[in-house]
Amino acid sequence: MPIILIIEMIARVLWKIFGTISTGTMSPHSSPKKTSLQEILHMLKPLAEPSTDYCAFRKKCTHYSCLGIRLPHLRALYKKGFSFSDKPHETQSKIWNTIWREALVHEAMHLPLFYFEERKDKLTPKDWAMLKSWISRIDGWEHSDMLSKIYSFLLERFPKLVYPTLKKWNRSLNPWERRNSIVPLILYASPKRKYLPPSKILPLIKILLKDPDPYVQKAVGWTLRECHTLYAKETLAFFHTHIRTFSAIAFSYATERLTLSEKQLLKQKRSSP
C-alpha cells in the first residue's frame, strides 16, 4: 500500500478519536458553527413579509434586499438578544462591525445601528474610528439618519475628533457623506444637548446650498430649521444673505418654524430680481 494512503488512514483515525474533544476542533461530521450574521438572518427570516406594500416601499429606498419587517418588530427582536449579547463591548463591537460590513439584507443592517444607538452615552474615540467607515455602505435615508444620530452623540462628546471628518465629507463626491456632514451637527435642537457654535455649523451648510442631490437638500433645510431654534439671530441673518440660493426643498423645511411675517418677507426677497 502506498505510504501516502497509510498516512491518510492514520490521520482519519486520529481525527475521529480527537476531533470531538473540547479543543475547539470539529469532527468531519459536526455541523459548522453559525456565524453571527447567519444567526441574525435566521432570526429575521420568520418575521419577513416580502409581499407587503411596506416591503415594496422599502425596496425603493435601498439596493439591499428587503424582508418587509417593520421597525418595531426589528427593535423587539434586538431586545431579545443574541448569542453574543452578553460579551464585552470590545468583542461585540467587532461582531457588529462584521455584520454591518457583510450584510446584504436591509433589515439586518438595522441591528448594528441599534447596538451603537443604545450605547450613545458610552461611545468612545475607538468607536468613532470604526463607525466613521460605516458611511461607505449607506445607500438610503433610513440607515443614513440612524447613523447620523450616532454621529451626533460622537460629535457632542468628541467635537475636536469628529468635526474634521464632517468638514471632509462636506465636499465629498458621495451624497450620503455630504448629507452626514451636516445632519449630525443638530439632529434635533434640544436644551439637553450640547452643540457647536453657529460659526462651525453655518459654513458647512453654505457649501451645500446648491447641492444637486434632493436628500442633501432636505438635510440643508432640516439643519437650518434646527439651527434657527438654537441660534435664531445668526440663522435668520444667514437666511437673508443666501435666500436666493435656497432650493425649494431647503426653503420649505428651513422656514417651517418662522413666523408668518418672517416667512413672507423671505419669500418676497427670494422672488425679487
Encode the chain (273 residues) as per-residue pLDDT tens digits: 444 334 444 444 443 433 332 333 344 444 456 899 999 999 999 999 988 888 888 888 899 999 999 999 999 999 999 999 999 999 999 999 999 999 999 999 999 999 999 999 999 999 999 999 999 999 999 999 999 999 999 999 999 999 999 999 999 999 999 999 999 999 999 999 999 999 999 999 999 999 999 999 999 999 999 999 999 999 999 999 999 999 999 999 999 999 999 999 999 999 987
**pLDDT score at 26:** 40
Q: Cell for 124?
A: 468612545
Name the phi and psi angles at 203, rounded to 5. -60, -35
Name the phi and psi angles at 188, rounded to 5. -145, 135
Instruction: Specify whether the CB–CB gap between 240 and 207 falls below 8 A.
Output: no
- Predicted TM-score of the model (pTM): 0.87
**pLDDT score at 15:** 38
**pLDDT score at 3:** 44
| Residue of 149, 142, 52, 148 whose CA lies nearest to 106 | 142
Q: Which residues pair with 105 in a beta bridge?
A: 65
Neighbours of 227 (CB within 10 A): 23
Sign of CA dihedral 134, 138, 143, 149: positive
Instruction: Specify whether the CB–CB gap between 146 and 184 falls below 8 A.
Output: no
**pLDDT score at 255:** 98
How far is CA 236 from each of CA 5, 175, 187, rounded to the nearest angstrom?
Answer: 84, 26, 19
Neighbours of 33 (CB within 10 A): 9
Instruction: Specify whether the CB–CB gap between 204 and 181 falls below 8 A.
Output: yes
Q: Find all residues with CB under 8 Å of 256, minimum gap 6, and list them.
A: 225
**pLDDT score at 171:** 98
How far is CA 82 from each of CA 77, 197, 204, 272, rounded to the nearest angstrom?
Answer: 9, 41, 40, 60
**pLDDT score at 13:** 42
| Residue of 207, 203, 214, 201 whose CA lies nearest to 250 | 214
Q: Cell for 88?
A: 464585552
| Residue of 2, 6, 25 whose CA lies nearest to 15 | 25
| Per-domain residue ranges of the chain | 36-111
Type of residue numbered 209: L
